Amino acid sequence: MNHQKSRLGLAVLALSLSVTPALASGQAPSLRTLASARGLLLGGAISGELFNADNPDEAATINREYNAVVAENAMKMRAIANSPDPDNYLFATADAMVASAQKNGQTVRGHTLIWHDSAPAWVYEIQEKTAMRAAMTQYITTVVKHFGNRINIWDVVNEAISDGPGNPLRNNNPFAVAGPDFIALAFRMAHAANPAARLCYNDYSVEGLNGKSNAMYALVKGLLADGVPIHGVGFQSHLDTNFSVRDSGMQANLQRFRDLGLDVQLTEVDVQMVGSGSEKEKLARQAQVYGELLSTCLAVKCSAFMMWGVSDLTSWRAGGKPLIFDGDYVKKPAYGALIKVLQTAGK
Ligand code: G3I
């Protein structure tokens, strides 16, 4: 009898250790609880709304559901380096976001060091190769060292590949003045400033097998062959409800980057609701796409699933209601789809 009792006790102990605290207390598990149990970074972009006293739901939702965050704008060059003088760099907003993340146990993805879109006016005035290399080196070194080990994942170069036919590098990139190796230079400088950081190339419209993802594959393969310290690729995944994970060849595409030994991260997921049908049908289709994106990510052992925002209220493309919380921070069907995948995928 005693023996039986102790066996029962062990079984109960094993059961209690195998369930999450949220489940044990009867609450629904959060995304972050389930993602953390899988070693997956799951979260999203945070904006100034995080500190908006009129919108306490924003911070509450981020901290309840996300184990990782990324600044939507506060770490872009235009936000930090309005002036080329590092003594005048503006870190206050980014530092406040990092402090909030640390307080709430969240990993921070750094976004982004070199991006044509966020380059301040003074960058465009530099027309000489040596001067541009010096400017890039100073900016990257100062910023990466400023955050130090508070940020150990960086989007080093963002959106360098053209959308045009043939998909070479875009021709409106001011940093190209630094020479054809400006991408390699950026990665080398970031690595020198923080050797512990995972360094990523990040782009959009590269989720499936297509000309642009082929160009990205050639780019990163070439960087690896040249010994450039690149560790991962970010697939932004700004999509809509017409996107087909299967028809686009997304899993095969992600897998070929994994086969190069790179981290694969979905970095800016949002799925706009488009097309005809009732609101209910569109919400269901959106949930299906979200679920398939996360399943595919997990199938290739991705390391992050980041969404571009929190709620449809504050999304950069709010009109398309692309996120998993509605304008009142109520969970949409897409939220449930992510929970279900985290609970069941591979089990
Ligand atoms: O901060 C100023 C504010 O002072 C001013 O009053 C206001 C007037 O327009 O502009 C504000 O800056 C805006 C900034 O967002 C903050 O709201 C910029 O004009 C606007 O261009 C900027 O847009 C951001 C965009 O990147 C360009 O940096 C979006 O919020 C942000 O969601 C978007 O994010 C990008 C990723 O970084 C890279 N991948 C694509 C993604 C979507 O475009």
Whole-angstrom distance, CA of residue 30 vs CA of residue 80: 33
Q: Which of 347, 328, 325, 326 is nearest to 30 (CA)?
A: 325
Q: Is residue 40 part of a domain?
A: yes
Active site residue 268: yes
Over the range 299-308, which residues count as b (16 or more CB within 10 Å of their CB) and which as e? ebebbbbbbb
Joined tokens for residue 309: 């925002």
Three-state secondary structure call for residue 68 = strand
Domain span including residue 185: 10-14+29-344
Tens-binned pLDDT, residue by residue, of the chain (347 aa) = 344 434 434 443 344 334 444 555 668 899 999 999 999 999 999 999 999 999 999 999 999 999 999 999 999 999 999 999 999 999 999 999 999 999 999 999 999 999 999 999 999 999 999 999 999 999 999 999 999 999 999 999 999 999 988 889 999 999 999 999 999 999 999 999 999 999 999 999 999 999 999 999 999 999 999 999 999 999 999 999 999 999 999 999 999 999 999 999 999 999 999 999 999 999 999 999 999 999 999 999 999 999 999 999 999 999 999 999 999 999 999 999 999 999 999 98
Q: Is residue 115 part of a domain?
A: yes
- 27 Cα distance to chain centroid: 28
Q: Whose CA is nearest to atom 4 of ligand 1?
A: 79
Q: Is residue 20 part of a domain?
A: no
**Does any ligand 1 atom lie closer than 6 A to the CB of residue 316?**
yes
Best of 158, 316, 317 for a ligand 1 pocket test (most atoms within 8 Å of beta carbon): 316
Whole-angstrom distance, CA of residue 334 vs CA of residue 205: 21
CATH of the domain at 244: 3.20.20.80
Helices (H), 230-278: 250-258
The angle formed by the CA atoms of residues 39, 316 and 306, to the nearest 5 degrees, is 5
Active site residue 72: no
Q: Is residue 19 part of a domain?
A: no
Q: Is residue 310 part of a domain?
A: yes
Q: How far, in Å, are 68, 154, 255, 310 from residue 329 at the CA level?
A: 18, 29, 34, 8
- From the list 268, 279, 281, 292, the catalytic residue is 268
Q: Is residue 24 part of a domain?
A: no
Q: Is residue 251 part of a domain?
A: yes
Nearest ligand 1 atom, CA 76:
28
Number of structural domains found in the chain: 1
Q: Is residue 22 part of a domain?
A: no
Q: Which of 252, 140, 163 is nearest to 215 (CA)?
A: 163
